[in-house]
A and B are shown apart, each in its own frame.
Chain A
């Protein structure tokens, strides 16, 4: 098995590891660093459960090799502040099993950063890459919309 040494910043801490070159970023974060909040669903970029933040942008953790993240800054659900979003998801029943929730929260956080006052359709479009098999999405869109309205001055 071929390996390569990488150094990157994960949730504010510098880490240096020898990784298999074929290992994807989400497996590295989960297995090597223990950040198991990022989930592994389809491993083909469809479901969004593995969403993490790479250099300030959400990415599919399964569609980035760990070696490609060499030198980058990575944030996972464990490393970001999203108190009001998390509370709104809880309050409005925007999750059941929770498998998609870390990815949903990171995508919703990014949407509200870039577009603080999105329409419901814009919320649906932005979250279209995150699959939820429990809720039917209605409550998730409600939660994101509620937080957007609460944050408006």
Chain B
């Protein structure tokens, strides 16, 4: 009976846009004030719904970028040129607007402190969004779990959360590696090129450390990373993946 009482159907609710932050020319973070937000687990997402004056509705799923303990619920959205929802969210939505959504949802691609580590977070493009929530949560609760992060982006300009990542990298428990796949400044001292087993091996943990790994990004990126990790001897049961249909990295 107690369990039955916890069953909760999803309802659409409304948040108010507090601020929008430009992450890259194509990517924005939207901070929402949500009355009675029940809280979320790092890695979860919400479904956003848009309604036109003639009643036409459409919805998409977006990962939550904020930590459970942050003041606002944040979504980071990449503009897809042929998209229907993301151009609205990136180009049109502004402070004071109301946005309809439901959630939080998802129980697979989540990190709770009790899952332990060591953690390896692998993100391609806007696949970094749920990983940022995990990193923020990790810091907010003062977790002692060591973390390695591997980010893949086309260029330095298209890397989201650049400053925040640099700041996190200063922490002894957190190691951040970045690879740029299309263009890198001549002074670039990070990695270049697409992820492969060699890079995963260098930037991640030895399989013997039994890392808990989260991989998020476009479908092809996730497939490459997951296959590479398994080839390195990572336990497939400790690799969690989330794929989305964004642009390539």
Are A and B interaction partners? Answer: no
